[in-house]
């Protein structure tokens, strides 16, 4: 997510127009519009200040990356189309058998 999208989301949640947010920031509507449309990329402090001006706080945290899904996608993409289809058919067969067994 870009800084401009964060600003737009905060502004919309606060039910502010671009002009109203710009006024709170001592700026101009056109500046807010450029941020939100990607015409310019606001720096971190600008994003934080704009979000605060909309009445929200920006929380940032770091999380370890989880490459598990990416690894699964890469593995599937190495397969030929008929191999992927066969794998999906087998998965459906297994899930159907598990569902039947659970029903008794």
| 3-class DSSP assignment, residue 63 | coil
pTM, full prediction: 0.63
Length of the chain: 104
Two tokens at 53?
Answer: 């001006």
Taken in order 40, 45, 47, 49, the sign of the CA dihedral is negative
Per-residue pLDDT of 33-82, as tens digits, reads 999 999 999 999 999 999 999 999 999 999 888 899 999 999 999 999 99
Answer whether 5's CB lies under 8 Å from 36's CB. yes
CATH for the stretch 3-53: 1.10.260.40
pLDDT at residue 66, rounded to an integer: 87
Two tokens at 62?
Answer: 């770091």
Structure confidence at residue 7 as a pLDDT band (50, 70, 90): very high
Structure confidence at residue 97 as a pLDDT band (50, 70, 90): very high
């Amino acid at each position: 997510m870009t800084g401009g999208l964060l600003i737009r989301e905060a502004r919309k949640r606060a039910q502010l127009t671009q002009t109203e947010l710009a006024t709170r920031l001592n700026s101009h509507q056109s500046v807010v519009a450029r941020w939100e449309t990607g015409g310019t990329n606001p720096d971190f402090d600008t994003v934080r200040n704009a979000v605060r001006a909309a009445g929200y706080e920006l929380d940032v945290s770091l999380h370890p990356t989880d490459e598990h899904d990416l690894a699964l996608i890469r593995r599937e993409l190495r397969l030929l189309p008929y191999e992927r289809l066969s794998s999906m058919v087998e998965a459906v067969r297994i899930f159907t058998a598990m569902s039947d067994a659970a029903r008794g």
